[in-house]
Amino acid sequence: MILVAELRVRDRDKLMRYAAEVQPLMARYGGHILATSAAGVRVLEGDWEPNLLVVHRWRSRAGFEAFWSSAEYQPVKQLRHEACESRIAVFDGLPEPVASPPT
């Protein structure tokens, strides 16, 4: 499963605290960050003006749902709400590629 978040940052220090706290918690539930646009976004089409994009991969929807609703994530989520405005979507991704055998 894939999660995409678009964040409009209000408090960078709080966002950095959030990032430090959320990543180990995500890992316990089977999630990890694939990419961020912290270095900048190059928009190729349209009038999109994202502030910060983050992409996660989760081993399963069940793992993500357990993380999202867990008691331990709630204060961390509140920290994110204080740090930024968020737009978040989840969807099924393609299976991770299987490595080809060496030739």
Q: Is the pTM of this model over 0.75?
A: yes
CA dihedral over 5, 52, 37, 73, signed as positive or negative: negative
Per the CB < 8 A criterion, the answer to whether 32 and 26 are in contact is yes
Give residue 15's pLDDT: 95
Which structural domains are found in the chain, ordered by start?
2-40+50-91 (3.30.70.100)
Give residue 25's pLDDT: 97
Confidence check: pLDDT of 93 > 90: no
22 token code pair: 């959320």
pLDDT digits (tens, 9 = 90+) for 29-68: 999 999 999 877 888 898 887 789 999 999 999 999 999 9
